[in-house]
Chain A
């Protein structure tokens, strides 16, 4: 099965430029799902902020073709990502890879919520200690 795919893709790779990406999906839904997820997370470097999934330009089509080929060759997702990063740098990925500085990015949401929660706790505790009575309400029932 895999060999058949490789032959097919290889045959298509030398086809004239107009028929580069035939859009023939992988028969294996899992492979197809991987393909679709990958192409939605790769930046089209020629474009003004679009993924290669959404872009019409030929570079996007070429990159889709390469990813399709790599999946068909049995490469894992990290290997495919490495392929792209070696050639285009981290900028090509919409999902920042976890490294020293991007780790902060991935933890940031939780850190901020914790910080906010802590601030909230301080304020509410302080207000709970204050007298609740205040001048009669003016300006509406809300």
Chain B
């Protein structure tokens, strides 16, 4: 019964999405207030019904309703309840429903917080989001219905993939999707502007907080995925350049470029068409990512098991959306750009440089991900492009980017006096160079050119990021201090510096050893002693495991104990490795069990990972910076502002 309610709710949501998609757009075109007014109501209604559907699916999982095929395939009686909930989005159909829910939620947020926007513009934005919802709801209802019945019902389910039975993996998809889907808002804003033919600095101001909000969630989602892979399956690795990882990274790179481009458009009315293109591209990459994951076209641990029919549907949808947007772009964009200038040494130049390098980086990731497919289609030969290529290729645009990161913040708009500019930057540069030299040598005993550059760049970013906040603290009483927007920017950049530091140090100084060990044996890695004290059998809720007790000593003194496990889940029978990690702010000690070797010996992987936490800490700080930035008062639009803006907008459409 409940699953049928869920299915019905999805169909109702679709009909509301059709209202929401079609009528407001027509209304904006004809300046019909009644039709435009439907937008917000339809959006609210659509959200409610999608939420009901999602609730029904969750209910089916939590009550072990194995008459629903999706539940039977991905749950199990002995699955802990918290994972029964996360199993809802653990595979294709459910995660698609979650995507639809999140899209409806973003739309609701836009509807709720857009009172300051001109009516026609808001109607167009919500309308475009409605069209997107139609596409996804159709896809779900026609090809990927989570409520399909299994007759006769199964007695017990096939269990959730053990890899997904983990808190990190439970939150990773929602966070990621909030980011992914969030770029649809910037996309909708772009389409709305192109439809009306009207794009000015206010448009950039409206679009910015939505973009930053989506971006920060995507940052968190990607960071969480990386952290999870590290402790759950990466054997100490934190990024593998897997096609699906790349699929989430590309929108992030373009999203970052978009945030910076919006800054230019907001401040000077420049690069409007470029910003439009970035907004279209960011969401297009989100759609491409969805396609890659769900179509079965690439080889990846992340890929959902699915069939080509679904792939064709998504590709068709992607084609319609992206080509439609780009046709609009080709039509409207040429008339939009302004003829305003700036000097060579200016913030505009640096932000342009930022965009160029980020776009190049994105293009490289795209090439690396799709080239094997293209080459195979062209001449039949199958090659792999993996981390060895990506790591080198990606560094080419990002090394200059990282070095220049600190500069733009301190360069004036329009034109900057070179002397005062050097004056501001001189001290951070010296600090960075000195620390860059010293840190590797002092803390880790050796150095290299790449290390000096990496550490130097990291401290350069950190030093330049704290200038503005420090300056505002030291100001005399009565001054305005620092805006949240600027504070957010500084903190986000600081986060980037921490990230670069973590990556540099861990790449250069991590130590990894695979050895056969017997109970009672001790191994020395990274200056610490690891003794395998014993191996024993343990039981979990839905698994049985062999656990090793490993004692860690530093110069004879016990500093920690780890319990890595090799688990076998009762239903799916796969063997999972649970690593033991001793984490602290400046290093991780990582122990994982490999294979049983006979004679009581096991192969053990022991790793020393200095500063690895900085990688995710940096991402967290970046997201925090974004959050602070979004909360800046000037983004809060009030109805009065809209009234002022009305005459300017009246001529639109």
User: Residues on A close to B: CB < 8 A?
Assistant: 16, 18-19, 21-25, 36, 40-41, 43, 47-51, 53-54, 56, 61, 89-96, 101-102, 105-106, 108-110, 112-113, 116-117, 119-120, 123-124, 127-132, 134, 137-142
Contacts and interface: CB of A to CB of B under 8 A. Distances in A.
A49 B300 contact: yes
12 contacts: A16-B598, A48-B300, A89-B382, A93-B383, A95-B388, A95-B389, A105-B368, A109-B392, A113-B360, A113-B400, A116-B356, A139-B634
Mostly, the B contact residues are mixed
Interface in B334-387: 338-344, 348-349, 352-353, 356-357, 359-360, 363-364, 367-368, 371, 375, 379, 381-387
B301 interface: yes
A132 B343 contact: yes
B597 A23 contact: yes
Interface stretch (B140-148, B235-243, B317-325): B235-243
B303 A48 contact: yes
Contact of A94 (B263, B356, B387): B387
B471 interface: no
Contacts of B363: 112
A41 B353 CA distance: 33
A36 B240 CA distance: 16
B197 interface: no
A120 B354 CA distance: 10
A132 B340 contact: yes
B634 A18 contact: no
A136 to B, nearest CB: 11
B201 interface: yes
A53 B235 contact: yes
B363 to A, nearest CB: 6
A96 B356 contact: no
B595 A21 contact: yes
Sorted nearest first, the 4 A-B pairs with minimum C-beta distance are: A94-B386, A130-B341, A95-B388, A109-B396
Interface stretch (B30-38, B446-454, B511-519): B511-519
A140 B603 contact: no
B341 A43 contact: no
B267 interface: yes
Contacts of A102: 383
B interface, size bucket: 35 or more
Interface of B: 201-202, 205, 233-235, 237, 240, 242-243, 263, 266-270, 299-301, 303, 338-344, 348-349, 352-353, 356-357, 359-360, 363-364, 367-368, 371, 375, 379, 381-389, 392-394, 396-397, 400, 414-415, 483, 485-486, 489, 512-516, 575, 577, 594-598, 601, 603-604, 634
Given A56-B575, A110-B396, A140-B634, A25 B414 contact: no
Most chain-A CB neighbours within 10 Å: which of B243, B339, B344, B360? B360
Nearest to A133: B340
B393 A108 contact: yes
Given A22-B601, A56-B595, A138-B201, 17 more contacts: A21-B597, A23-B514, A24-B515, A49-B243, A50-B301, A56-B594, A91-B384, A94-B385, A95-B389, A105-B367, A113-B396, A130-B339, A132-B343, A132-B414, A134-B340, A137-B267, A140-B267
Contacts of B375: 101
Nearest to A64: B514
A89 B235 CA distance: 26
B514 A142 contact: no
A86 to B, nearest CB: 14
B341 A96 contact: no
